[in-house]
Amino acid sequence: MSKKVKKMKEIKEQAYHKPLIKRRKPNRSIHGDIALYIFLLIVAAIMVFPIVYAVNAALKPLDELFMFPPRIFARRPTLNNFSDLFVTMGKSWVTFSRYLFNTVFITVVGTAGHLMIASMGAFVLAKYDFPGGQGFFKIVTVAMMFTGYVTQIPNYIIINKLGWVDTYWAIVVPAFASPIGLFLMKQFMEGLPTSLIEAAKIDGANEWMVFSKIVMPNVKPAWMTLIIFSVQGLWNNRASTFIYSEERKMLVFALSQVQAGGIARTGQGAAVLIVVMIVPILTFVFSESQILETMASSGLKD
């Protein structure tokens, strides 16, 4: 958009005294709008309330947690619960840093491998027409429907046969093949102009170069989305079925062990809730625009 057009638009918009809705559509009634937005505000408050409550519970000192009648907002907010949690974790047999390492290692390796493998597959599925390609993609979309529990038992048997029980690979390698990542990547790559690939080919690029130099740099939003979804999935993965030695357990699993520690750990338990939820939410907040850009092409055609 040229500067002139932008300026024109700005001048046009100024005439409306900064309207709440940018371009008022002609078929809207003001009463309807107000009613709808009040409704939205109420629902948003209800949605956010449990989270606000959880955050406040984590900030309450212990005496306030057991106060009657209970209050929603902390009167004297402290970070004691978090520091207590850190102390408890530090006293455990396996150190806190080891749990953190496990989580970071699994998340980084799982995400990197998933990104690589899924985007290679997505690239050929989106841009080439070869026998079996569409059929394979259909199967992937069906697989998106199945929750992890359903395939858990055969999965355990397979991982056992591979000798991966109680190793990181039991979590990392299945995460490589997560169907939703391939699905989103493929849908996004379809929006990439085919002429771009053809031009690169005329200039003498081979398939690998087309993929790594042309396609991948052009699908950065989809990268970001894949990374976020993968991180969210792996972060919340307790992998309690596959991993039993304490020194290979994930941070979230260790934290939930603290949480189960009874009434004396109420404050720490509240802090655990916050630590567990803050990572996925923060990653989402920072990458929201890119995720939405990817999701715009997420539609399923029949």
Comparing CB distances to other proteins, the nearer of 121 and 267 is: 121
Region 124-153 residues binding other proteins, contact defined as CB under 8 A: 124-125, 127-133, 136, 139-153
For the bound state, the minimum distance from the C-beta of residue 161 to other proteins, rounded and expressed in Å, comes to: 10
| Residue for token pair 């929006």 | 191
Does residue 106 belong to the site contacting other proteins (CB under 8 A)? no
Q: Which x/- pattern, by CB under 8 A, does the window 32-61 give for other proteins?
A: x---x--xx--xx--xx-xx-xx--x----
Which residue pairs, CB below 8 angstroms and at least 24 apart, start in 150-155? Answer: 152/241
Please select the residue that binds other proteins; options are 59, 115, 171, 182, rule is CB under 8 A.
182
For the bound state, the minimum distance from the C-beta of residue 192 to other proteins, rounded and expressed in Å, comes to: 11
Comparing CB distances to other proteins, the nearer of 88 and 119 is: 119
**CA neighbor of 124 nearest in space, from 179, 192, 186, 181:** 186
Residue pair 207/201 in contact by the 8 Å Cβ criterion: no
Structure tokens at 129: 């027409």
* Secondary element (H or E) of residue 274: helix 266-286
For the bound state, the minimum distance from the C-beta of residue 195 to other proteins, rounded and expressed in Å, comes to: 9
Does residue 190 belong to the site contacting other proteins (CB under 8 A)? no
SS3 state at 89: helix
Region 196-235 residues binding other proteins, contact defined as CB under 8 A: 197-198, 201, 206-207, 211, 232
Q: Distance (Å, rounded) from C-alpha 64 to C-alpha 60?
A: 6
SS3 state at 160: helix
- Amino acid identity of residue 220, one-letter, is K
Q: Which span sits near other proteins by CB under 8 A: 1-9, 18-26, 86-94, 102-110? A: 18-26
Region 238-267 residues binding other proteins, contact defined as CB under 8 A: 241, 252, 256
Q: Distance (Å, rounded) from C-alpha 126 to C-alpha 211?
A: 12
Q: Which x/- pattern, by CB under 8 A, does the window 66-95 give for other proteins?
A: --xxx-------------------------
State the Cα torsion 53-54-56-60 to the nearest 10°: 130
Residues 6+ apart with CB under 8 A from 103: 234, 235, 250, 251, 252
Does residue 8 belong to the site contacting other proteins (CB under 8 A)? no
Please select the residue that binds other proteins; options are 62, 74, 173, 205, rule is CB under 8 A.
173
Q: Which span sits near other proteins by CB under 8 A: 2-10, 62-70, 82-90, 242-250? A: 62-70
